[in-house]
Every structure is written in structure tokens, then in C-alpha cells.
Amino acid sequence: MTDQTWTPERLDLLRKRWLEGRSCSAIAGELGVTKNAVVGKAHRLKLPAWKDPIVRGMPPKPKRGLPVLYVPPVEPGPEPVELFPREREPRTCQWPFAGGCDAPREHRRPYCTRHCCLAYVGRTGRAA
């Protein structure tokens, strides 16, 4: 940036470029000041405001909505599956889906070997 003082020559150039309709950033680049300095000085000099690019009083343009998706009606499916384990022997598999399983449980696990492979996944992403 160059000299920050507003000399009469710089003020004349500001007024001239402002009335030509130049942008504040273009005037600032020419004068070597910031855009905010140009805006502030134009305000203090009471230079005429530019025409507002936003047209007031006009109805807003309709917004484009998302397309409407057709969702076919859902047909009734089979009877709901039992989600909670039924009362079983304490040493049998406690698998809660598809009516349960009466196979013997794995040691210290609530499920049989087959259902443990479905229920527990190791760190590598393979079934345990």
C-alpha cells in the first residue's frame, strides 16, 4: 500500500471513479488503499449510493423443490418376529429371531456356535 493520506487529488479521483460506477475494490486498487477505506470515505463524503441490485417489491422467484418420488404401497408381510428370547433352558441358545434355537450354548456366550458367528464380528471384519 502507498501513502494513506487523502489528498485533494486522491479525493477527486475517488469522486470521479465513484460517479463512473466503478467497484470499491477497483477504486481501492487504483488508490492503493483497502476496499473498506474507500467505502468509509465515500460515506463520509456523502457520495450518492449506488442503485440496489436487489429489486424490492417483486415477488420472489419460486424455489425449485426436490422431485417427488413415487413410493408404492407396502403389502403386508409375514407375522412379526419374536424379538425377545422366550423362556428356554438356561443352557440353550438364546437367539431371539425366527423362533429361537435350542442348540447348546457356547461357553460363556448366550448363543450356539452358528449364531455366535452371526452375532460377533472380530476386528478384522470376519465373523468370530
**So what's the pLDDT on residue 34?**
93
**So what's the pLDDT on residue 100?**
72
Q: Are 18 and 47 in contact (CB under 8 A)?
A: yes
CA distance 19 to 25: 15
- By CB atoms closer than 10 A (0-12, 13-18, 19+), residue 105 is buried
Each residue's pLDDT tens digit, 18-66:
998 888 999 999 999 999 999 999 999 999 887 766 667 777 777 777 6
Each residue's pLDDT tens digit, 61-117:
777 776 666 667 777 766 655 555 556 567 888 887 776 788 888 888 888 888 888
Q: Quick one: pLDDT band at residue 120, thresholds 50, 70, 90?
A: confident
Q: Are 40 and 18 in contact (CB under 8 A)?
A: no
**β-strand partners of 69:** none
**Which among 34, 6, 35, 13 has a CA at the least distance from the CA of 23?**
35
pTM (2 d.p.): 0.40
